[in-house]
């Protein structure tokens, strides 16, 4: 009996469970509805379409054909790899140092220290009388004389040109002169000294350097002379006056019973006068890219994407953009391997006249001799709301082969033999009469202080 009662104790009629089932279902449904509400979102969707019509580039890159610049252009001329060789080679800073086609750029001056002197200067393009085949020779003429019985005579005549030192630390300065010296004496006269001299004079009139070579043992032959000028004598970027000429000193005697005037005549020829400078660090200055616009007008500039300097030495880079009409951008500037200014301003470029480029990218750099400077540039051009960029990879290197001495003119090297001239001042007269000589202009300078 008890056992049956116990069994019935666990039996629950189904109708008693129904309220619990219904209530549980309602709670579950409510939770489901609540969760759906929490995660629900409203989405609004708009359509958009774009069509691009690609076209050929209206601005292209070109090789400016600059010395020491190697330009590799990509297809379509829309990228470039530029390698610049910064060198420590000598660079001539004199203009028209060979007098090849004219004496342009040169004037002459003179000084008379004692006695009297007749001074003149001439240029001859085909002076075959002295050096067959040579062209462009300058003659400095000087006739020294006195009117008394015993005369000390001393005069000099020289060529003049202003030269500007590069604005970078200099490693060396050399002056190379190719000259031919000759003199004659008339009556009782003697030449005591005869020299070819050179000077550098600062803008304040002070002589910062001077040198001379005695030529009495090398008369009547073409000779090369190299003067080494200490770099401490000059200031980079400053302008100096270069004098190169002849100085003669002697004695003339006029006898009382003769009216003949004793004299000394000097004929000093120059085939070339070249002043070379060598930068202390490898350097380059010039155009590295040309830009040509084929349609439209654009604002053009350059910016640095990355800079990498290999080597511990200090390197400096200045880069800017210039247009055909002379507009120049602000520069990109790398100072001591650090990017100081990473972008140029923009300059306007448009379609150029035939034979010209729309603009140029200029580089001025001096790098430490073991450094390699790599700059990834982006040349940009823009109009309206669009900007196009072309990659330009610029590498500045110091090539291993360096020029050890200043390059002498090929023609100067031809002068190794002695050629005699008629020791007669009538030579000048004959050349003048034959129309082969052109008299140089005169410039008045301070007196040469020998």
Q: Which of 87, 85, 86, 61 minimizes the C-alpha distance to 73?
A: 61
**C-beta of 358: minimal distance to other proteins in Å?**
14
Closer CB to other proteins, residue 11 or residue 41? 41
Q: Candidates 142-150, 210-218, 295-303, 424-432: pick the segment binding other proteins (CB under 8 A).
A: 295-303
The DSSP bridge partners found for residue 300 are 347, 381
Give the span between the Cα atoms of 422 and 137, in whole angstroms: 17
The three-state secondary structure class of 316 is strand
Dihedral sign (CA 367, 377, 382, 291):
positive
In the bound state with other proteins, the residue whose beta carbon lies nearer, of 141 and 298, is 298
CA separation for the pair 321, 56 (Å, rounded): 23
Site for other proteins in 248-287 (CB under 8 A): none
Residue choice 81, 389, 393, 414 for contact with other proteins (CB under 8 A):
389
Q: Compare residues 80 and 321 and give the one whose CB is closer to other proteins.
A: 80
Quick check: 302 and 331 in contact, CB under 8 A? no
Quote the least distance from Cβ 321 to other proteins, whole Å: 18
Number of residues that bind other proteins (CB under 8 A): 37
The DSSP secondary structure of 57-77, one letter per residue, reads: -SEEEE----TTEEEEEPGGG
Of 119-127, 149-157, 189-197, 379-387, the segment contacting other proteins by CB under 8 A is 379-387
Cα(390)–Cα(394) distance, integer angstroms: 13
Of 123 and 381, CB closest to other proteins: 381
Burial class (CB in 10 A: 0-12, 13-18, 19+), 233: middle
Q: How far apart are CA 107 and CA 93, in angstroms?
A: 16
In angstroms, the CA 195 to CA 211 distance is: 10
Q: Which is nearer to other proteins, 50 or 259 (CB)?
A: 50
DSSP code, position 234: S
What phi and psi, each to the nearest 5 degrees, are found at residue 421? -120, 160
> Of 154-162, 216-224, 235-243, 389-397, which segment contacts other proteins by CB under 8 A?
389-397
Measured CA to CA, the distance from residue 149 to residue 256 in angstroms comes to 7
Residue 321, Cβ density class (10 Å: 0-12 exposed, 13-18 middle, ≥19 buried): buried
Of 19 and 56, which has the nearer Cβ to other proteins? Answer: 56
For other proteins, the binding residue among 295, 325, 335, 422 (CB under 8 A) is: 295
Tell me the two tokens of residue 261.
């005037």
- Closest residue by Cα to residue 106 from 176, 177, 159, 164: 159
* Site for other proteins, residues 31 to 60, rule: CB under 8 A: 39-58
Site string for other proteins, 120-159 (x = CB under 8 A): ----------------------------------------
Shortest Å, Cβ 49 to other proteins: 5
Q: Rounded to 5 degrees, what angle do the CA atoms 349, 353, 355 make?
A: 110
Interacting positions 154-183 with other proteins (CB under 8 A): none
Segment 76-95, which members bind other proteins (CB under 8 A)? 76, 78-79
Residue range at the interface with other proteins (CB under 8 A); choices 210-218, 237-245, 248-256, 381-389: 381-389
Which member of 70, 74, 95, 260 binds other proteins (CB under 8 A)?
A: 74
Among 13, 353, 385, 400, binds other proteins (CB under 8 A): 385
Name which of 80 and 165 has its Cβ closer to other proteins.
80
Tokens of 49: 């379409």
Nearer to other proteins among residue 12 and residue 386 (C-beta): 386
Interface residue with other proteins among 21, 340, 383, 442 (CB under 8 A) is 383
Structural Rg of the chain based on CA atoms: 42
Of residues 297-326, which lie at the interface with other proteins (CB under 8 A)? 298
- Output the smallest distance, CB 283 to other proteins, in A: 31
Q: How far is the CB of 362 from other proteins (least distance, A)?
A: 22
User: Which residues contribute to the site for other proteins (CB under 8 A)?
Assistant: 39-58, 74-76, 78-79, 295-296, 298, 383-391
């Amino acid at each position: 009996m008890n056992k049956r009662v116990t069994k019935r104790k666990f039996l629950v009629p189904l109708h008693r469970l129904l309220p619990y089932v219904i209530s549980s279902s309602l709670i579950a449904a409510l939770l489901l509805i609540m969760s759906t509400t929490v995660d629900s979102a409203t989405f609004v969707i708009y359509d958009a379409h774009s069509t691009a019509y690609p076209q050929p580039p209206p601005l292209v890159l070109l090789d400016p054909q600059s010395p020491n610049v190697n330009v590799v252009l990509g297809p379509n001329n829309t990228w470039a790899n530029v390698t610049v060789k910064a060198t420590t080679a000598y660079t001539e800073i004199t203009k028209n140092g060979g007098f090849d086609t004219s004496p342009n750029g040169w004037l002459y001056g003179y000084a008379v220290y004692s006695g009297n002197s007749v001074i003149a200067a001439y240029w001859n393009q085909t002076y075959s009388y002295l050096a067959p085949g040579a062209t462009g020779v300058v003659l400095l003429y000087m006739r020294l004389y006195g009117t008394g019985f015993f005369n000390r005579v001393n005069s000099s005549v020289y060529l003049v040109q202003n030269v500007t030192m590069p604005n970078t630390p200099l490693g060396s300065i050399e002056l190379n002169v190719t000259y031919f010296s000759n003199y004659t004496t008339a009556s009782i006269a003697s030449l005591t000294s005869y020299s070819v001299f050179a000077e550098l004079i600062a803008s304040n009139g002070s002589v910062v350097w001077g040198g001379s070579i005695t030529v009495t043992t090398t008369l009547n032959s073409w000779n090369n002379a190299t003067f080494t000028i200490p770099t401490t004598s000059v200031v980079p970027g400053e302008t100096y006056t270069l004098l190169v000429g002849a100085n003669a000193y002697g004695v003339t005697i006029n006898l009382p019973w003769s009216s003949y005037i004793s004299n000394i005549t000097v004929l000093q020829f120059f085939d070339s006068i070249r002043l070379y400078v060598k930068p202390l660090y490898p350097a380059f200055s010039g155009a590295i890219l040309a830009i040509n616009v084929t349609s439209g007008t654009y604002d053009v500039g350059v910016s640095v994407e990355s800079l990498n300097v290999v080597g511990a030495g200090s390197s400096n880079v200045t880069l800017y953009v210039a247009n055909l009409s002379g507009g120049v951008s602000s520069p990109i500037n790398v100072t001591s391997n650090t990017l100081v200014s990473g972008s140029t301003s923009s300059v306007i470029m448009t379609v150029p006249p035939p034979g010209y480029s729309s603009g140029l990218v200029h580089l001025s750099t001096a790098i430490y001799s073991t450094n390699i400077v790599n700059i990834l540039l982006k040349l940009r051009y823009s109009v309206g709301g669009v900007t196009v960029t072309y990659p330009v990879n610029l590498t500045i290197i110091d090539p291993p082969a360096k020029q050890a001495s200043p390059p002498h003119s090929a023609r100067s090297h031809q002068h190794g033999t002695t050629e005699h001239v008629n020791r007669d001042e009538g030579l000048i007269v004959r050349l003048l009469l034959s129309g082969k000589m052109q008299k140089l202009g005169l410039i008045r300078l301070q007196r040469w202080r020998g």
